[in-house]
Structure 1
């Protein structure tokens, strides 16, 4: 189990680095979009390449950040239904969801998208738009993004099993979603205000 926990930490570190790097792509998309709009309005000059690079970068943010979002427990969940259950029940729900939904779907998408990427790469496929970009980098984002997501799913699976066997204590961020943590902070603030009024 210790080797699996080390693997989990390595995967977490990988997705942390990729996620932190991916955040900068949002700035790049914003700058390109602003420059494109300014040049189009001021000089009546436009390029499909500027539009397509924005789409590529947005896709990169979404796909490369998926594993990071899972690491940070930021994916959409069913917390409304399971928020009353114990941490052990939450761990089992995460395990079953990972085994029967996340990993099978990720593997299927990786498998199906790899052939699409290889076809685009070997053929040198270019966007049909005038002045469009080559397509294989965008096609590569799909299998790479889902590989990072699947790896993070494996890491989360290891952490949940280690938690259930008493080998690992989950952080508050692993047990609660951002919405739950915010609701807890609001509840504490309201209790503090109520206590201050009684003083």
Structure 2
């Protein structure tokens, strides 16, 4: 494989590993928000912002953790025949399926970018009492989908290397 592709794959892996490790700590932020919500409700003065902030934090946790989950291979797979195949046959199948994944993620990224542009242009706000701006969470979607596309491309390059009898 060309050196530039090897550098790309290693850089994407390092980037998604770091973002994924950061995203794991968002679970603690979420717990803090929910704890504050519980305390404020028990104190008789419920906070308006806690429910939506918990939802936004969960979006970041889920979307930014997605590429890391892909990288670690912790997604659910159904491998009735896959486990018995050779590495090369698995690489052919993975290269085919990752192309479908890249197409799907591309459509999702397109929708996220379009929605983010709308949100930024019109200062879109949530219709709740707290009324936060929605563009920050929409940008998180854009970033997450972009990182997933990069991780999918890294998988594709690894599969091509395996088909060629090389490793990255």
Q: Please indicate, yes or no, whether the TM-score normalized by the shorter chain is above 0.5.
A: yes
- Report what 1:39 is aligned to: 40
Structure 1 residues 122-174: Cα deviation after superposition (integer angstroms, max 9, x where no partner): 211111110231111111122211110000000011111112212216xxxxx
Distance 1:35 1:90 in 2: 48
Q: Deviations over 1:166-195 (max 9, x none)?
A: 2216xxxxxxxxxxxxxxxxxxxxxxxxxx
- The corresponding residue for 2:115 is 116
- Is 1:130 equivalent to 2:129 in the alignment? yes
Q: Matches of 1:132 and 1:57 in 2, distance apart? A: 16
Scaled by the length of structure 1, what TM-score is found? 0.80
| 1:186 alignment counterpart | none
Give the length in aligned residue pairs: 167
Distance 1:162 1:2 in 2: 12
Is there any run of 5+ residues in structure 1 with no aligned partner, and where?
Answer: 170-199
Instruction: Give the Å deviation of 1:81.
Output: 3.6
Give secondary structure in 2 for the equivalent of 1:133. Answer: coil
CA distance in structure 2 between the partners assigned to 1:161 and 1:154 by the alignment: 10
Q: Is the CA contact (8 Å cut-off) linking 2:67 and 2:147 kept in structure 1?
A: yes
Matched, 1:74 2:63: no
Alpha-carbon distance in structure 2 between the residues aligned to 1:94 and 1:56: 32
- TM-score (norm. length: structure 2): 0.94
Determine the structure 2 residue equivalent to 1:184.
none
RMSD: 1.3
Q: Whole-Å Cα distance in 2 between the matches of residues 122 and 9 of structure 1?
A: 36
Q: Does 1:84 align with 2:51?
A: no
* Other-structure match for 1:52: 52
User: Which structure: larger Rg?
Assistant: 1
